[in-house]
Amino acid sequence: MNGMLAIRYETPQSVGEAVRLMAADPDARVLAGGTDLLVQFRAGVRQPSAFVDVKRIPELMSITIDGQGLRLGAATAAAVIGEHVELRTLWPGLVEAVQLIGSTQIQGRGSVGGNLCNASPAADTTCALIVNRADCVIAGPGGERTVPVEEFCIAPGRTVLQRGELLIALRLPRPAARTSDAYLRLIPRSEMDIAVVGAAVSVTLDANGVCRSARVAIGAVAPTALLVPEAAKALVGSSLDAASLKRAAEAASTAARPIGDKRGTAGYRRTVAGVLTRRAAAIAAGRARRK
């Protein structure tokens, strides 16, 4: 250990204390579940000067649902989210995205805030948050600010967080009547893999089953997850029949600008982005009709 600088381990008890720690030291890193950070640390990719463990801050570990909607503490473990019955009922697509991440063990640690802050273009929760109009609540030396989730990640591994800032919660408006969501991803096996393509859709129907508003987001097909207004436009005003779903699929494929790699060629990803959009829209529509 000769010459090695001690890495500090900090356990702030409040958001204010966490902000002060982060602002005082640009090399400090927020530790939530550690499922990305500790792997990167071990691999030598990141060498933080301090781990700021935010899991003792109640606001980062809580789930509140009221008339306004959901406030999801950024460090709440995926397993806790999966066990929350009301959350599952109101946002089934978000919860299915959360539950796709890793194994049972990883679910016991990993959080939605961490998934977002890791800023992988293939992160499963990002698309589901985007279609649900989530806002990121960010605390910093100047107080709190909110950023729409589709603007939070700016490049692979990079977010809008500035020095001294940390993500403390996600806020989702309560879904309107006959609204539901769905998330699908393609992986080459049945469990435990990273999305080759992901797609989330949220739809709101009127009493006659006509789609009144929609949101479509696709992941792993660009440097960040993409909100695709053209695909949503193809759904609005329709009864979500096969023809409109096909138009939404085409719009999603057109919006995708994927790379080709060992996990899938660019052309394959573009095609699958459309297929998953169509299927997720159909699932979201089915769920909305039952509400």
> Which chain residues interact with another protein by CB under 8 A?
1, 3-9, 11, 31, 33-35, 38-39, 41-43, 51, 53, 55, 77, 79, 102-106, 108-109, 191-192
Give the residue with the Cβ less far from another protein, 69 or 113. Answer: 113
Give the residue with the Cβ less far from another protein, 39 or 155. Answer: 39
Give the residue with the Cβ less far from another protein, 43 or 207. Answer: 43
Query: In angstroms, rounded to a whole number, what is the distance separating the alpha carbons of residues 28 and 9?
Result: 10
Beta bridge pairs of residue 135: 148, 171
Q: What is the closest distance, in whole angstroms, from the C-beta atom of residue 121 to another protein in the complex? A: 21
Give the residue with the Cβ less far from another protein, 37 or 136. Answer: 37
Q: In whole angstroms, how far apart are CA 266 and each of 143, 193, 258, 279? A: 42, 19, 5, 20
Query: In angstroms, rounded to a whole number, what is the distance separating the alpha carbons of residues 223 and 263?
Result: 15
Q: Counting every residue, how long is the chain?
A: 291
Q: What is the closest distance, in whole angstroms, from the C-beta atom of residue 202 to another protein in the complex? A: 26
Asked whether the beta carbons of 79 and 108 are under 8 A apart, the reply is yes
H helix or E strand, kind and range, residue 71:
strand 69-73
* Burial label, 136 (beta-carbon count in 10 A; 0-12, 13-18, 19+): buried
Asked whether the beta carbons of 133 and 215 are under 8 A apart, the reply is yes
Give the residue with the Cβ less far from another protein, 7 or 160. Answer: 7
* Burial label, 91 (beta-carbon count in 10 A; 0-12, 13-18, 19+): buried
Q: What is the closest distance, in whole angstroms, from the C-beta atom of residue 112 to another protein in the complex? A: 16
Determine phi and psi for 78, rounding to 5 degrees.
-55, -40
Q: What is the closest distance, in whole angstroms, from the C-beta atom of residue 184 to another protein in the complex? A: 17
Asked whether the beta carbons of 206 and 238 are under 8 A apart, the reply is no
Give the residue with the Cβ less far from another protein, 7 or 275. Answer: 7
Of 78, 84, 125, the C-alpha closest to 103 is 78
Q: What is the closest distance, in whole angstroms, from the C-beta atom of residue 13 to another protein in the complex? A: 12
Q: What is the closest distance, in whole angstroms, from the C-beta atom of residue 280 to another protein in the complex? A: 21
Give the residue with the Cβ less far from another protein, 42 or 262. Answer: 42
Q: What is the closest distance, in whole angstroms, from the C-beta atom of residue 193 to another protein in the complex? A: 11
